[in-house]
Structure 1
Amino acid sequence: MSRAHDPASGAQRIGRTLLAAALVEVLVLVAAATWWPVYESAAFAILAAVTVTVGTLIGVAGAALRWPGPAVLGATVLAWLVLGVPLAVPAKALWGVLPTPAGLADLVVTTGTGWRQLLTISLPVGDYQALLVPVFALLLAASVAGVSVALRTRLPVLALLPALAVLVAGIAFGGQEALAPVVVGCLFAVLAMLWVGFTRAVPPAPGTPPSRSGRRRAPRLVGAVGVVAAGLAGALVVGVLVPGSATAWAPGSPVDRATLRETVEQPFDPSEQPSPLSAYRSFVAAPADSTIMLTVEGARAGERIVLARMDDYDGVVYDVGPAGGASGDAGALFSRVPERLVATGSESHTAGENATAARRTLDVSIGAYSGFWVPTAGEPEAVRFWGADAAALQDSLFYSPDLSTAADLEGLAEGDGYLLEVSGAVLPADPSGVTPGAAVRVQQAGVPDAVATRSAEWAPESRSAGARLAGIVAGLRSGYLSSSREGEVFSRSGHGADRLQELLTASPMVGDAEQYAAAGALLAEAAGFPARVALGFAVPGSETGAAASTGDTAAPAGDAAASVDGPVALRGGDATAWVEVYTAEEGWLALDVTPEPRPVPAAATDDSSTAVRPPDVVPPAPDGVDDSIDQAPLEQDDTDPPPTDTLAPLLLQIALIAGLSLAVLAALLAPFLTVLALKRRRRSRRRSSGAPRARAAGSWAELLDAARDTDLPLPTSATRREAAVALAHTDGEPGTTSGDRRAVTPGAVALAQRVDEALYGPVEPAEAQLAALWSASDTERRRLLDRGGRLARLRARLSTRSLRPYHGKHDDRQDKQ
């Protein structure tokens, strides 16, 4: 019994094949662990296990059945289409297992565009939208390629490269927190070295053509490549994954490393938008002061509904800091988020025990308010939009964890709404007894001189930090409130350096929440507290703010601030601004520095009535903002919105669906069209290229290829005439039936004789003779392909047998004579 037919040898080969495939599968799965911080969901774990297993099976089947490259590619594309929607776009899978047209559209589009989306969204993303598609495509391709290289090449050690690509991609697309990076890196390195040892111990795959010096060079080459791969894995662990402390052995440990996320420009930069604080007067002026801006159900009495927090002062306006700047180590960076927002950790924006209050859900309905700042409360944790534009709003949601501020580029308008999951509540608190927190960068420039003067008066350095802060709050609240509304004393708008200088030097002080909050933040900074300004709405129903801010009593904590019964309508007149300072005890603490409404002294009234009122200062917008935005706050409601063109979006959607359908169809037909194109090109070259004798031989070769595609037996070591006779009298051979007795007519024998005459005649065949040979070849080839039904004919035309190398000798013996 020969070794090729030895059952024991066959069983060993099967065992080695399965072991090799299992090792590659484990390598890819270990590498896939680096993607866990990107998703952190059970959907990702299921996707990774199923995808890598299916990819491994495709690679094993391709190697065992000797599929050509196009067939393996076709099987991979088919798996991508069948499994992509239920695994990577589960929300659009029919019954959770069947792909739908909408799901296939997301699969096709996100395979190309999802990579950038992963870099502009906050982590983890879970199974949000179709963002599982990139890792699904990567794992499927890596597992198929890895197993195919391991089982079908003379350098199986190169199967490490696809798994290494998954590992590096997971690091590059991840964030600053990794899943036990040292453990994952070392495990990958150990498996890589085991794979190198395995490939050196296993002989080449059956049928692999050895090189002339393969027996001497192969072990050395494999060993060299293996050492390089192992060294690369080790360098990756030491140079990229290993942090400076031993805590990296624990899951979720922060790692100081650079990622692609830091190099991608985020699609939303708040510094390019007008200052939210500049819109304060548009809320409190008539008729907006009595107009319902939004309705909130589940709010607490006295708490603040936050529109935006501003941490960047340039002497003209308080603004939301630019990306990479101001509030915190990472800056006020806004990233696109799914419905689950990024938590801010231990830094709370609420006072006292409110920071650890139980989670609650607020139902927010938008009224006359419009703009891209999303009203939030407490520590926002999740936003789920409802309404007609819910999907578009959810897709355009951005969030800054350092500012706990949300924005939506789609823009909120009347009729929109959302459910807001929060913990705690923003309630003005007692500042006494607090100390400045760790350094938090807040950008300030153009601070008026009066800030230093008032700071020395209200917050002398001889007092404690908390007493200095309480003195600032009390000093500001001793002023008077006016927004220049009907019946009020004139008060200039704006919060530039000149306006704050005027406020802090006037006697008495007259202004509104816009000026007092801006001045309070600058004064708190002068007292050593990192500070910023917040704009929003005060929920009516409590005097908490006044009592707490003056230091008389502490703000209620936990359940002491009960929820208001039923929905609360917040009008423009409920808009306010306040100061938030960073403390060591409570994190970010809210302070109300705006005076209570009370009559302004007569002296101030007389002075304002005789003075020439300077024009209101409208702060200039940052560079790149249109003049139209400068002249009107972003929150202003347009009563006559411009007409919208509904036909163009419909046509665009139809074109997109048609294009995606054609792309999917092209992907399905690509392997078959490739086979037909290769055969057509080969036939064209045989018929029109080369010397006349070669073109004559090509007519016969074309007939033999048709015979191979129809699975007819071709004798080896035979002349053309012998091969033609054998084809003309096939009966009882493997792969034939009784109906195949005259599968090729005697015309094939005549064709073989005429081809021999053209090849070995005294003169080269003329064009007319070549045309006759090819005409006869076409006739015999059509008869051969038509011997079965339509399905058999289609199978023969798509067969790849004739495209593979053929080791028969039926032509060589005679051609060499």
Structure 2
Amino acid sequence: MSAAIEQQSARRTARRPPQAPSGAGFLLGQALVLDLVLAVGAVATWPIYRSTALIIVLTAGIAAGHLVAALGTRWRWSAWWVALATLAVYVAIGVPVAATGSLASPDAALRALVDVATAPVTGWKDLLTLELPLGSYQATLAPALLVFVGCTVAALSITWRARRWWMPAVLVALLPTAFGVAFGARALSAPLRLGTLAVQPETLVGVGAVLAALVAVVWRSDHDRRRALATAAAASGVARGPRGRRRGLTARVTTATGMVIAATAVAALWGPWALADRPREVARSVVEPVLELERAPSPLASYRASFDDDRYDEALFTVSPAQGVDRVRVATLPFYDGRTVRAVAPDAGLTDPATAFTRVPSRLDADAPGEVAVSVRIQAGTGIWVPTVGDLRAVSFEGSRAAELADGFFLNAATGAAIDIADPAPADGDAYRLVASVPAEAEPVASLTPSRSGPALPAEVVPASLTEWMDTQNAGTGGAALDTLLDRLRSRGYLSHALLLPGGDAPAWLRDLGEAGFQPSRAGHSTDRIGALFTQLIERESSSPDGSDADLVAAVGDDEQFAVAAMLIADQLGFDARVVVGTRLASPEGLPVCEDGVCRGGDLAAWVEVADAAGRWVPADVTPQHESFPSPDLEQRRDPENPTQVRRDEAEPVLPADASPADGERSEPESTPQEADLTALWTALRIGGVSLLALVVLVGPLVTILTVKALRRRGRRRGDVAARFTGGWEEYVDTAVDHGYTAPAHLTRRELARLFAGGAEDAAGVRLATWADRSAFDVAPPSAAENDEFWRIVAAERARFAAEKGWWARLRARLSLRSLVPRRRAGRR
């Protein structure tokens, strides 16, 4: 009998699945091949940041991942505890490694800690809304740290512990490469020239990822094969010669190398041709920041409000030093729909890559020629529009709201305009420093070459009087024609910022003009308003065909109308043009400038920027003159021939007619209901929502595990009597497994119960095994009363398992995932 039991035990031992490989050589080799795959992911991530700080972050992250995976493998931590340790290590090294600039003060460090902790939930937004490269801006390195720490721990834990299912480790190690591709730039990088062959860097990254993954698979497969052959040779005594091993390895390496070479050749030759003129579809292509531009009024529409007496001398912002900069850009408005000029395309809106506003990291690109550093201090401010100079390279905010303003800063790289949607908008006391590239000298407009042969704006938004006036000027074509038409438009216009001259003193803007007289001017820059402007010019020129520019002054308005008119003229000649609202720090033509860098409301101006065929943008001033007063018409100057005399003694007062009953009584105008200020409520809801989301992310998995186990235990106590006995036995085994016991599939129920009881034959678990066998195989199953006693013993055994452990071990058992992993059940039918 004893010999039969030993033979049966030997057969069961032979059927056991092989244990996970171990040994320092295996652990080190497996880590190296997976590190090779992670290194390709680091190369794919580099274009997102382009900073040496990324190297430090990835080195620290991969090293920390190796440490956590090694400790978890050594001490056989459950998946849940490995995940908690990974998260703890990520938070611990996140602030000093991924947000080094936050160590300047305790407040900054606390803010960085919050950013690092919330990066798993909100970090993707910064990656998708900031303009590349990100550098080490704030905590944008935290998502990369999280990806590399998590993938390193997961890949090594899987491959070091797995017996057969180690392949997912390679797929997990490829996730950093996918991260670099998904969060990369919209456009492909410049191709690398290898002689006559042009290869995209993205192609090389893809080939490198495939090659590194293939190396990892071949290495592990060869290791497992050699291990299996060694086991078979030990069992049979027949060993395979080294020549056969070398032949098999050579064949596998040759096959893999041939596959890689063929795939690389196909990708290098076919990829550039197939992807030519196709945009790169990445996550950044479909996610855009939500801005307030749609609700903000056009800066040109509110241009005249700056010339009211209460705002004319109000300081908006101060620029220092002002040397080397002649213009400050507040807003750039390239689109016209017949009603107003705006910053975003009416049809594409904020999702158009050419005009979208994106967040700006610490620096946009490498140093450029003609760079200047300028400090700007906000006073009254210009709303959400942020004054900038030249071609922006870097921006850094100062003061107590620096982080908040930096988070709300967005730049339109195509137009150079910037906005800040922080709440509240930049105001008195806020300051920032700009680094920008400023051209040495602008080219003359007459030297420009149009990029088109005809207009781009729809005909319905262009006044007919504008095209008629252009035809009568006989100015020719190209840049010379544009320069001539803009010069005639300015010299035949007259500056006026108001509709009616108020009674009393003259307005401040009129006093600053000196001897200039007042002419009323209607606001607005719609198609109708611009058409009326050119109608005045045509009528005056028709009445004085041979008059000089001073005789032909007729169009009355200011920069609001004349900038839009110049934009339409440039478009008709084939030029791309846009309106710019800003201030001048220097002007050779005597136009208003900011004194000592202090820009006031009356210093605001509007001009146009015109692009030639080479894509260079050249500014052109369009402010009308104010020296030559418009000549009145002959009928306006003639005195009336028959003046009317009023005889007071014959004048009779005329009483108003009685009110019509149909009119009813006129009610008092209803007061406009004041909308409640919900800013504090929305702020509280936003903070509460983020806190709740973070709580769900941290605590949700714990509650889910406890809930699943409770529902499983409840379901096992239901059904027929036999099913309740089987379910009770499975609950007993799962409890033991969660508390660290192993449950070999080849053992019977009684053997498994003795294993859990330390070999005791009279243990309560043995009674459970007997009842469970009766419920499965006996003709007469146990009764319902025995079932209640069975579950009472299960509860007692669960309490015994818990009593054997400490507090932390009991908590680990409750949250263990071992019993939730599918496995072969012992004693199941």
TM-score (norm 1): 0.70
Q: How far apart are the structure 2 equivalents of 1:771 and 1:746?
A: 20
SS in 1 for 2:218: helix
Aligned to 1:603: 632
Q: How far apart are the structure 1 equivalents of 2:73 and 2:683?
A: 47
Aligned to 2:580: 534
1:377-526 mapped onto 2 (5 Å cutoff) = 377-387=389-399, 389-410=401-422, 412=425, 414-415=427-428, 417-423=430-436, 431=444, 434-436=447-449, 443-445=456-458, 446-452=461-467, 454-455=469-470, 460-461=475-476, 467-479=480-492, 480-484=494-498, 486=506, 488-495=518-525, 496=527, 497-502=530-535, 504-505=537-538, 506=540, 507-509=552-554, 510-526=556-572
* Aligned residues of 1:476 and 1:595 also touching (Cα < 8 A): yes
How big is the shift at 1:184? 2.4
1:28-177 mapped onto 2 (5 Å cutoff) = 28-59=38-69, 62=72, 67-90=77-100, 103=112, 105-107=114-116, 109-151=118-160, 152=162, 154=164, 156-175=166-185, 176-177=187-188
Instruction: Assess, with a 3 A threshold, how the Cα gap between structure 1 residues 20 and 564 changes in structure 2: closer, same or farther.
Output: farther
Instruction: Assess, with a 3 A threshold, how the Cα gap between structure 1 residues 240 and 114 changes in structure 2: closer, same or farther.
Output: farther
Q: How far apart are the structure 2 equivalents of 1:643 and 1:519?
A: 42
Aligned to 1:281: 304
- CA-to-partner distance for each residue in 1:396-434, whole Å, 9 max, x for gaps? 222111111112234635425332414355899572662
Query: Among 374, 381, 386, which residue is 1:361 paired with?
Result: 374
Q: How far apart are the structure 2 equivalents of 1:273 and 1:444?
A: 24
How big is the shift at 1:226? 8.0
Instruction: Assess, with a 3 A threshold, how the Cα gap between structure 1 residues 205 and 758 changes in structure 2: closer, same or farther.
Output: farther
Aligned to 1:292: 315
Q: How far apart are the structure 2 equivalents of 1:181 and 1:334?
A: 26
* Aligned residues of 1:311 and 1:321 also touching (Cα < 8 A): yes
How big is the shift at 1:111? 2.0
SS in 2 for 1:603: coil
CA RMSD of aligned residues (A): 5.4
Matched, 1:588 2:611: no
**Percent identity at matched positions?**
27
How big is the shift at 1:312? 2.2
Quick one: which amino acid aligns to residue 582 of structure 2?
G
* Aligned residues of 2:496 and 2:521 also touching (Cα < 8 A): yes
Query: Among 782, 792, 795, which residue is 1:765 paired with?
Result: 782
- CA-to-partner distance for each residue in 1:3-37, whole Å, 9 max, x for gaps? x9xxxx99985323322222122212212322222
SS in 1 for 2:302: helix
* Aligned residues of 2:79 and 2:817 also touching (Cα < 8 A): no
* Aligned residues of 2:706 and 2:815 also touching (Cα < 8 A): yes
How big is the shift at 1:375? 1.7
Instruction: Assess, with a 3 A threshold, how the Cα gap between structure 1 residues 395 and 806 changes in structure 2: closer, same or farther.
Output: closer
Quick one: which amino acid aligns to residue 263 of structure 1?
V
How big is the shift at 1:564? 6.9
How big is the shift at 1:239? 9.1
1:239-388 mapped onto 2 (5 Å cutoff) = 242=272, 257-268=280-291, 274-300=297-323, 303-322=326-345, 331-338=354-361, 340=363, 356-367=369-380, 369-387=381-399
Instruction: Assess, with a 3 A threshold, how the Cα gap between structure 1 residues 387 and 403 changes in structure 2: closer, same or farther.
Output: same
Quick one: which amino acid aligns to residue 375 of structure 2?
L
Instruction: Assess, with a 3 A threshold, how the Cα gap between structure 1 residues 400 and 239 changes in structure 2: closer, same or farther.
Output: farther
* Aligned residues of 2:401 and 2:430 also touching (Cα < 8 A): no
How big is the shift at 1:483? 2.4
Q: How far apart are the structure 1 equivalents of 2:713 and 2:349?
A: 69
Quick one: which amino acid aligns to residue 407 of structure 1?
I
Worse-matched range after superposition: 63-72 or 764-773: 63-72
SS in 2 for 1:494: coil
Q: How far apart are the structure 2 equivalents of 1:338 and 1:544?
A: 36
How big is the shift at 1:498? 1.5
How big is the shift at 1:755? 4.9
SS in 2 for 1:106: helix
Q: How far apart are the structure 2 equivalents of 1:20 and 1:442?
A: 64
SS in 1 for 2:132: coil
Instruction: Assess, with a 3 A threshold, how the Cα gap between structure 1 residues 693 and 537 changes in structure 2: closer, same or farther.
Output: closer
Where do 5+ consecutive residues of structure 2 fail to align? Answer: 1-13, 191-200, 232-248, 507-516, 541-551, 641-672
Q: How far apart are the structure 2 equivalents of 1:451 and 1:697?
A: 88
Number of residues paired by the alignment?
A: 711
Q: How far apart are the structure 2 equivalents of 1:610 and 1:491?
A: 25
Worse-matched range after superposition: 283-292 or 126-135: 126-135
* Aligned residues of 2:522 and 2:557 also touching (Cα < 8 A): yes
Where do 5+ consecutive residues of structure 1 fail to align? Answer: 211-218, 249-253, 347-355, 550-560, 612-639, 731-743
- CA-to-partner distance for each residue in 1:155-211, whole Å, 9 max, x for gaps? 545544334443344223211144833432332233233234324422169899x9x
- CA-to-partner distance for each residue in 1:495-537, whole Å, 9 max, x for gaps? 3341332354243133322222222333334445433221122
Instruction: Assess, with a 3 A threshold, how the Cα gap between structure 1 residues 255 and 91 changes in structure 2: closer, same or farther.
Output: farther
Aligned to 2:212: 191
TM-score (norm 2): 0.70
SS in 2 for 1:579: strand
How big is the shift at 1:778? 4.2
Instruction: Assess, with a 3 A threshold, how the Cα gap between structure 1 residues 233 and 114 changes in structure 2: closer, same or farther.
Output: farther
Instruction: Assess, with a 3 A threshold, how the Cα gap between structure 1 residues 285 and 712 changes in structure 2: closer, same or farther.
Output: closer
* Aligned residues of 2:373 and 2:436 also touching (Cα < 8 A): yes
How big is the shift at 1:381? 2.7
How big is the shift at 1:330? 5.3
* Aligned residues of 1:378 and 1:426 also touching (Cα < 8 A): yes
SS in 1 for 2:57: helix
1:551-566 mapped onto 2 (5 Å cutoff) = none
Instruction: Assess, with a 3 A threshold, how the Cα gap between structure 1 residues 240 and 304 changes in structure 2: closer, same or farther.
Output: farther
Q: How far apart are the structure 2 equivalents of 1:521 and 1:712?
A: 80
Worse-matched range after superposition: 160-169 or 598-607: 598-607
Instruction: Assess, with a 3 A threshold, how the Cα gap between structure 1 residues 765 and 27 changes in structure 2: closer, same or farther.
Output: same
Q: How far apart are the structure 1 equivalents of 2:145 and 2:639?
A: 74
* Aligned residues of 2:48 and 2:132 also touching (Cα < 8 A): yes
* Aligned residues of 1:307 and 1:374 also touching (Cα < 8 A): yes
Instruction: Assess, with a 3 A threshold, how the Cα gap between structure 1 residues 684 and 107 changes in structure 2: closer, same or farther.
Output: same
Q: How far apart are the structure 2 equivalents of 1:703 and 1:226?
A: 45
Q: How far apart are the structure 2 equivalents of 1:725 and 1:395?
A: 61
